[in-house]
Amino acid sequence: MTLDEFQQKLALFEVKVTEIERLKKDLQDFNASIDKRIQRNEINSKKIIDEYLSKRKSELQEQIKAFDIQKSESEKQLTDIAERIEKDRKFFELKQLQDREAIKKIFKEKTLGFPWLAKAYGDYLDLRDKQIGDYLENKRPPALKGAEAVKLLRKEKNKLEKEYRVSKYLLQYYENLFPWLLDFRGEELDDIIKRILEPDGREESIRDNDDPARIWLTDAEYKNLSSVEKYQLALDRYWEKKKSSWEIGRDYERYIGYLYESEGFEVYYQGIVKGFEDLGRDLICTKGNNVEIVQCKCWSKNKTIHEKHINQLFGTTVMYWIQKVKDKSVQFDLFPSSIRAAQIMPCFITSTELSDSARQFASALGVKIKEKFPFVPYPSIKCNVSRTTGEKIYHLPFDQQYDKTLIEEERSECYVETVAKAESLGFRRAFQWRGDKTMQ
């Protein structure tokens, strides 16, 4: 009997008890009436009254007895239900406790390897689900549908749980080894795939003979507008476009590179040119015998640069120094002196802040840092003079060879803000690169 059924019977019992009380009152009223009748009429037979009362009393006693039996049975059923509920509660509390203890034990042994950890965790969940399924199937009364559903889902859940945890732990491991992977958190998958397929960083796929400016213009605009009008319009739309995280980072690298070039450095935009193979060096800035290896991070204010980013920059700077040292017998203990002499300097520039620990690491390792360094609009048109033909050509940020084009002020090359300014200086638009010098 369920709890609802018991409550219904109990309610019915209460109705009948009420009826008995009413009958008792009726009997009392009847007795009073009889007494009055006896007083009024002494010829009433006491025997008839006694027989009637005896009969009614017997009927009432039988009804009360039946109700007492029903009440006893209902109370027993209610007790049984309460005991089963308590048993179920204790079972699932025990499973919950076992879950916590088993998970603690598994994670204490995580050094045995990520795949083993994921498999052990999946195996444990599989066993736990099997125990619950068996319990549901064997309990009284059995929950056969629930047990069957648990069994059907157990195998698929175990497989997916294992695959998920392997992927999760590997991703965390890789992000610790290669901090630059964190830059892609929150970036759309389509944008990442596009970057892999288009390593030159173009926003759209274009045919070899197409002008990249067409991406930003309608056919009518491209055909009917003057060169100054259409290329300035394309440039304006390029800057107004909502950009992905990677595109924001790329523009920030270009801006920092522009500032270095303005100070007389020769800048190689390795982060943009090499893409995923940049080895953590966004910019390689050279002036005479001095080199600065620059890492740029244009992050939101709620993000923080940690020591692992500083360590990566320092490590890739050491690697660059080793590769550039001609005398392979030179020992690493000479590297700090190179930093002190400013011959090679790791520099970390970011729009956000460093953690206290990251600042301490930077100070100890000799890494120059610039925090809260925002992106601001800058002259982005490169005016270049060909070394082979002497042609004066300007490059817009979306051109294929933009990041490989050097600007040398001593050769009357420069950055300008507008297309009109570039053309007034005698430079023309060329959407295909024709062999102008690039940084190697």
Number of Cβ within 10 Å of residue 382's Cβ equals 26
Task: Assess whether the previous peptide bond of 141 is cis (omega < 30° from 0).
Answer: yes
Label the pairing between strands 368-370 and 344-350.
parallel
Q: What is the CATH number of the domain that holds 333?
A: 3.40.1350.10
CA 90 remoteness from chain centre: 36
List, in sequence order, the alpha helices (H) in 198-244: 219-224, 227-240
Q: Note the pLDDT of residue 396.
A: 95
Residue 174 belongs to some domain of the structure:
no
Q: How many domains does the chain have?
A: 3
Say if residue 252 is in the same domain as residue 330: yes
DSSP string, 413-439: -EEES-HHHHHHTT-EE-SS--S--B-
Burial 412-426 (b: 16+ CB within 10 A, else e): ebbbbeebebbbeee
Residue 56 belongs to some domain of the structure:
yes
pTM of this prediction exceeds 0.85? no
Q: Mean pLDDT by 10-residue block, N- to C-terminus, for the chain (440 residues)?
A: 73 80 80 73 65 82 85 83 82 76 62 53 64 60 58 67 70 63 55 50 52 91 94 95 88 95 92 72 90 92 90 86 64 61 84 94 92 95 92 93 89 94 92 43
Give the 3-state secondary structure of residue 206. coil
Say if residue 361 is in the same domain as residue 425: no
Instruction: Look at residues 86, 108, 130 and tell me which one is the last residue of a structural domain.
Output: 108
d(CA 62, CA 73): 17
d(CA 176, CA 298): 19
Say if residue 395 is in the same domain as residue 317: no
- Sequence length of the chain is 440
Classify burial at 265, counting beta carbons within 10 Å of its beta carbon; exposed 0-12, middle 13-18, buried 19 or more. Answer: buried
Q: Note the pLDDT of residue 103.
A: 66
379: closest CA among 417, 352, 405? 417
395: closest CA among 344, 371, 369, 429? 429
Say if residue 251 is in the same domain as residue 359: yes
Q: Note the pLDDT of residue 385.
A: 94
| Angle at alpha carbon of residue 222, lines to 217 and 227, rounded to 5° | 110
Q: Note the pLDDT of residue 12.
A: 79
Label the pairing between strands 381-385 and 414-416.
antiparallel
DSSP one-letter code for 293: E
d(CA 64, CA 339): 103
Say if residue 24 is in the same domain as residue 104: yes
432: closest CA among 230, 235, 208? 208
DSSP string, 359-375: HHHHHHHT-EEE-S---
Instruction: Look at residues 60, 80, 108 and tell me which one is the last residue of a structural domain.
Output: 108
205 φ, ψ to 5°? -80, 130
d(CA 438, CA 384): 11
| Segments of 85-226 assigned E as strands | none
Q: Note the pLDDT of residue 55.
A: 83
Q: Which domain holds residue 7?
A: 1-108
Say if residue 396 is in the same domain as residue 308: no
Residue 65 belongs to some domain of the structure:
yes
Residue 12 belongs to some domain of the structure:
yes
**Cα dihedral: 30, 32, 37, 39 (round 10):** 160
For tokens 């759309």, name the residue: 188
125, 203, 239, 281 from 398: Cα distances, Å: 52, 8, 10, 22
